[in-house]
Structure 1
């Protein structure tokens, strides 16, 4: 099944030339971060069912469970050092950290934490199985950039600050592709932005254990007047936002707009934080790149 998914990914990679991404993201520690077998690829790759096992994916992967991953999962370097920045916005200052500089329009991923978090969550190389470290490496090695923000209470004012940052990033000379990524309750920020005029500034959205509804997709479609590549990832044992509700939202979107680039990744037996730890970022970034339309709203 993994080979089938890779073949699909290779075919999709041929379409990437139509966006700012000149080529697919190359492998980086794939043998450690590939989805564990057996993976079920359904609906032409639009839905993935991925097995999750705490004994394997936490206890054997982490040196200190949920606190420090084993060293082999992490690659550090001077090019991954974060630069602390502050952006003045109409609703107050936005503190954020940036790793790398986007080159020639290569993608910038902006990460929004969940409740009681801050920008440091997405900078930690050692928690969540080293997945943030891999994400940073994938982006920086490909000429892209990674940003993590302080979204504070995740309210409308906080979403406005993040929107101001996105607008500024998009207005640069290179006009980089922007991927807005939100974890848990941070999804409120994602959807506030996605249903506002600022949605024209983003090129894709990733929701990790967040709450989505058909009504929100409807509002996003009205605001953007075009489709938007969206990846939803959720654990089946999520007690914050029920898995069945998220899967139902995805299925409703697939029925209403069957050609829209929306993908759902379910982690069997996964909990609320599982998507942050387990999402395969190389697979996700390449899927997004293959589905970003050069004619989409900007």
Structure 2
């Protein structure tokens, strides 16, 4: 057997193991009544594309004690901080919440321009949505990671790939979900073509982020890695029309591809990080992987 054939076979076996593990896992409820999407305005493509009602007065001003800085207490559960560690792996600063070995599922958040590992573990910003994903991972025997990385290019993806590889090896069979906010999407698309990472992926989440026409030629696309796109209709950084065109291009390339898009009507650049329903999205990805 050639080395190339061996690697391909090993990757296929790893993907099969992860798929079997994912199929048997669904995340338990955590504050679903508070974080479920508001009214659905429209839906198409058998529910793959949805337009969700978003209102700043309700979804920021009524949800936050201090708008955009501190969510009301009912949106957070701070006991999860007991499972949170600020670590360094080969010089890579990262915050880990939950099981650093033997995890059933792993979720990684990659921040955008000007962010840091601290953004992804802030319990009170973005309406408490980061506190929710921390609790979802901790309550389901999972691991949540929020790392620092040097840039959004090759050095950045090498750093993130090293981090994912380390924790994934300590949790064999755990599907890895990578959520990328804003410019962090550049790393998501680079990871989509990384042969060491793709077999481990349970899904990619682009939150107020970019599009990449090359995705349909990537290893992740060929492996049918689930893809979620969340976008505000008033995003001036990455216009929603371009993201919608990308969504259509994925379905055009593969009509049954596991892709979903949620358009938050009147939402802006940071809205998907605040409003994306982590549990619904990850459970969908776990069910189709």
The interval holding the TM-score normalised by the smaller chain is: 0.7 to 0.9
Q: Does 1:275 align with 2:277?
A: no
Closer, same or farther: CA 109–191 of 1 in aligned 2, 3 Å:
same
- Deviation string 1:164-196 (CA, Å, 9 cap, x unpaired) is 111222223533110011100011111111122
Where does structure 2 lack aligned partners over 5 or more consecutive residues? 1-17
Aligned to 1:75: 77
In 2: Cα distance, 1:102 partner to 1:43 partner: 38
In 2: Cα distance, 1:69 partner to 1:173 partner: 33
- Within 5 Å, give how 1:173-188 maps onto structure 2: 174-188=172-186
Closer, same or farther: CA 78–205 of 1 in aligned 2, 3 Å:
closer
Aligned to 2:6: none
1:218 CA displacement: 1.9
1:202 CA displacement: 1.9
SS where residue 77 of structure 1 aligns? helix
- Within 5 Å, give how 1:245-284 maps onto structure 2: 245-284=242-281
- Kindly indicate whether the alpha-carbon contact (under 8 Å) linking 2:103 and 2:143 is maintained by their aligned counterparts in 1: no
In 2: Cα distance, 1:105 partner to 1:66 partner: 32
**TM-score of the two chains, using structure 2 as the length reference:** 0.88
In 2: Cα distance, 1:33 partner to 1:59 partner: 15
Residue in structure 2 matching 1:229, options 202, 226, 230: 226
- Deviation string 1:178-231 (CA, Å, 9 cap, x unpaired) is 00111000111111111222323322111101111222332345xx64211111
Aligned to 1:165: 163
Q: How big is the alpha-carbon RMSD for the aligned residues of Structure 1 and Structure 2?
A: 1.9
1:104 CA displacement: 5.2
Where does structure 1 lack aligned partners over 5 or more consecutive residues? 1-15, 293-298
**TM-score of the two chains, using structure 1 as the length reference:** 0.85
1:39 CA displacement: 4.2
1:258 CA displacement: 1.1
In 2: Cα distance, 1:235 partner to 1:188 partner: 18
- Deviation string 1:243-262 (CA, Å, 9 cap, x unpaired) is 00000000111111112111
In 2: Cα distance, 1:282 partner to 1:203 partner: 14
SS where residue 40 of structure 2 aligns? coil
